[in-house]
Amino acid sequence: MGWEQIILFKTDEVDALLKERGILDEDLKKVIFKADESGKKLYREGNDRFLAKARLDNFTVYVEYSPRENGYEIHSAYSHRVNLKSDLEA
């Protein structure tokens, strides 16, 4: 399965926040896909949430999400366009 097949679930509030921040569903899916492939993600104990990041073109996206039976529940996401040395080396 590629990132295109990932199914996302979002509340209207989260959807509005992501639109305000200019973060597309495509961006979220790519970050989750990369995190699942590489295993590079943080786990928040007690509430089954993950935090993953990925460098996409000229910006870095962070996604907080939980796995669901048929996809992923998105809790929040943010991005930045700063070039961190660690991101450029990855």
Whether pLDDT at 86 is above 70: no
Task: Please give the span between the terminal C-alpha atoms of the chain, in angstroms, as a whole number.
Answer: 23
Number of folded domains that form the chain? 1
User: What pLDDT does residue 84 have?
Assistant: 58
Q: Is 79 exposed, middle or buried (0-12, 13-18, 19+ CB in 10 A)?
A: middle
Which residue range(s) make up the domain with 55?
A: 3-89
CA-atom Rg of the chain in angstroms: 13
How high does pLDDT run on average in the chain? Answer: 89
Q: Is the pLDDT of residue 53 over 60?
A: yes
Q: pLDDT for 7-49, tens place per residue?
A: 999 999 999 999 999 999 999 999 999 999 999 999 988 888 9
